[in-house]
């Protein structure tokens, strides 16, 4: 068992380190910018840099990822991000800091399709569902452990020490990736000289694949839309909890911890029984429960109701994410995986920006309560759409089998 899962454990270790480091980095960077400027708006700009980085990279990233060795690319991106972060605390200009953070996020935007493609190639089909469940468990661990480590680092040192710690996690993650196999023979895309014509050709490949597998890509798009609808209300989470529910900073922090516990419990259950549930069940059932949890949270009037909603949505998110990752690995060929991930990631980033602006404007002009409730209802409609398309897809498979 150890031999068959050796590479899986190495991958999960690298993912876990990076995830913990990302949480430490996020908290520390927010505090550094707030201390430097005293402006919440300056902190808010940090959250726009990630979708902006995706817009700048995903036009070409997929074409690049599908034509190189993904393991070597992952190692290089880890090292580059570590170097950038080592220089970050020394910067005294806010503009220079934004530029460096943008570069870090751009490296992360390229890393995502590279790692997804590599994981799909490396992990055998019969181990993917459990691997994805363990990945959800590790993500929840980072959600809980990362802020705790950040707090300890702030006590014994400074916010700059936390940034250096994150840089070290990227270096160690790169070293772990060195222990993974190269898999050169499975690249499967011929190298061609870079040009605008090549990018147009690759976008045509994605469009042709989408038209040929319309139901699969509709499910892919709808799940991405569900995550967009989850990300947009997140921007109002603190304001909703404090202004609508009347929670204190301490109580709000406890509420966030309940969400982390929900993901952990869901992921633990999945590692035990996930193989007995179909990918479509995980995807559809998990999505509907996530939307239901958001609705409970949106209509809550006190801490108890919000806690139930937070626990349910985070618990179900472990199922939905595991179902989606397994679905993606099973039905998107690795030859086009990088390009598909990049193109649809580009669309998702545009939608995140538009949705965040829309829900923020609704909160400003109407009320925070109405904005959050409206976002929750839209999310439920999207998840029901996933279930409907899944049903159509199942009926089509039955018809094709009968023929």
> Which helix (H) or strand (E) segment is 237 a member of?
helix 237-239
Q: Is residue 192 part of a domain?
A: no
* φ, ψ at 246 (rounded to 5°): 75, 30
- Per-residue pLDDT, 239: 72
Q: Is residue 187 part of a domain?
A: no
- Domain finish residue from 148, 179, 210: 179
Concatenating the DSSP letter of every residue in 36-62 gives HH--HHHHHHHHHHHHHHHHHHTTTHH
User: Domain check: are 169 and 234 in the same one?
Assistant: no
For residue 269, give the CATH number of its domain: 1.20.1250.20
The model's pLDDT over 7-53, given as tens digits with 9 standing for 90+, comes to 888 888 887 787 777 778 777 887 888 788 877 678 777 877 888 88
- Per-residue pLDDT, 187: 46
Instruction: Determine the average pLDDT of the residues in 88-114.
Output: 89
The model's pLDDT over 362-403, given as tens digits with 9 standing for 90+, comes to 877 888 888 888 888 988 999 999 888 888 877 766 555 454
User: Domain check: are 336 and 381 in the same one?
Assistant: yes
User: Domain check: are 47 and 161 in the same one?
Assistant: yes
- Per-residue pLDDT, 103: 93
Q: Is residue 193 part of a domain?
A: no
The model's pLDDT over 44-94, given as tens digits with 9 standing for 90+, comes to 778 778 888 888 888 888 888 888 888 999 999 999 999 999 999 888 888
- Per-residue pLDDT, 4: 57
pTM of the predicted model as reported, rounded to 2 decimal places: 0.78
Alpha-carbon torsion 46, 348, 375, 248, what sign?
A: negative
Q: Is residue 49 part of a domain?
A: yes
The model's pLDDT over 308-335, given as tens digits with 9 standing for 90+, comes to 998 998 889 888 888 888 888 888 888 8
- Per-residue pLDDT, 76: 93
Q: How many domains does the chain have?
A: 2
User: Domain check: are 157 and 15 in the same one?
Assistant: yes
User: Domain check: are 174 and 205 in the same one?
Assistant: no
- Domain finish residue from 147, 179, 211: 179
Asked whether residue 339 carries a pLDDT value surpassing 90, the answer given is: no
Q: Which residue has the higher pLDDT, 237 or 218?
A: 218
Q: Is residue 191 part of a domain?
A: no
User: Domain check: are 339 and 378 in the same one?
Assistant: yes
The range of the structural domain enclosing residue 307 comes to 199-403
User: Domain check: are 105 and 172 in the same one?
Assistant: yes
Alpha-carbon torsion 74, 76, 82, 85, what sign?
A: negative
User: Domain check: are 312 and 399 in the same one?
Assistant: yes
Instruction: Determine the average pLDDT of the residues in 279-299.
Output: 89
Contact (CB, 8 A) for 120 and 70: no
Q: Is residue 131 part of a domain?
A: yes
Contact (CB, 8 A) for 135 and 12: yes
User: Domain check: are 98 and 226 in the same one?
Assistant: no
- Per-residue pLDDT, 78: 92
User: Domain check: are 43 and 170 in the same one?
Assistant: yes
User: Domain check: are 257 and 215 in the same one?
Assistant: yes
Which residues contact residue 269 at a Cβ distance below 8 angstroms, ignoring those fewer than 6 apart?
A: 318
Contact (CB, 8 A) for 359 and 376: no
Instruction: Determine the average pLDDT of the residues in 151-179.
Output: 84
The model's pLDDT over 225-268, given as tens digits with 9 standing for 90+, comes to 888 887 766 667 767 777 788 877 677 777 777 877 888 788 88
Asked whether residue 175 carries a pLDDT value surpassing 70, the answer given is: yes
User: Domain check: are 25 and 100 in the same one?
Assistant: yes
Q: Is residue 289 part of a domain?
A: yes
């Amino acid at each position: 068992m150890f031999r068959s899962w050796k590479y899986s454990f190495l991958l999960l270790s690298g993912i876990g380190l990076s995830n913990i480091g990302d949480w430490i980095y996020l908290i520390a960077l927010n505090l550094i910018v707030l201390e430097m400027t005293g402006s919440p708006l300056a902190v808010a700009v940090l959250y726009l840099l990630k979708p902006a980085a995706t817009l700048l990279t995903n036009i070409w990233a997929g074409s690049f990822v599908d034509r190189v060795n993904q393991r070597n690319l992952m190692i290089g991106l880890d090292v580059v991000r570590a170097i950038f972060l080592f220089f970050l605390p020394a910067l005294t200009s806010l503009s220079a800091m934004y530029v460096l953070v943008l570069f870090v996020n751009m490296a992360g935007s390229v890393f995502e399709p590279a790692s997804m493609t590599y994981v799909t190639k490396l992990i055998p089909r019969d181990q993917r569902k459990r691997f994805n469940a363990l990945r959800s468990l590790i993500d929840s661990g980072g959600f809980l452990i990362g802020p705790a480590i950040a707090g300890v680092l702030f006590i014994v040192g400074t916010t700059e020490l936390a940034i250096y710690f994150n840089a070290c996690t990227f270096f160690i993650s790169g070293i772990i990736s060195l222990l993974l196999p190269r898999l050169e023979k499975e690249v499967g895309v011929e190298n061609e000289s870079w040009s605008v014509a090549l990018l147009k050709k690759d976008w045509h490949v994605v469009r042709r694949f989408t038209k040929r597998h319309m139901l699969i890509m509709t499910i892919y798009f709808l799940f991405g839309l569900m995550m967009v609808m989850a990300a947009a209300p997140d921007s109002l989470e603190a304001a909703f909890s404090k202004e609508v529910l009347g929670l204190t900073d301490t109580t709000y922090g406890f509420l966030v911890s309940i969400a982390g516990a929900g993901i952990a419990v869901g992921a633990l259950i999945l590692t035990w029984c996930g193989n007995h549930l179909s990918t479509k069940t995980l995807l559809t059932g998990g999505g509907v429960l996530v939307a239901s949890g958001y609705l409970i949270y949106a209509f809550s009037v006190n801490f108890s109701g919000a806690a139930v909603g937070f626990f349910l949505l985070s618990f179900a998110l472990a199922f939905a994410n595991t179902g989606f990752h397994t679905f993606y690995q099973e039905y998107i060929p690795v030859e086009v995986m990088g390009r598909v991930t990049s193109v649809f990631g580009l669309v998702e980033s545009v939608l995140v920006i538009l949705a965040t602006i829309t829900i923020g404007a609704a909160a400003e002009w109407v009320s925070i309560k109405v904005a959050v409730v409206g976002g929750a209802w839209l999310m439920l409609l999207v998840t029901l759409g996933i279930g409907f398309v899944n049903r159509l897809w199942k009926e089509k498979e039955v018809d094709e089998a009968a023929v």
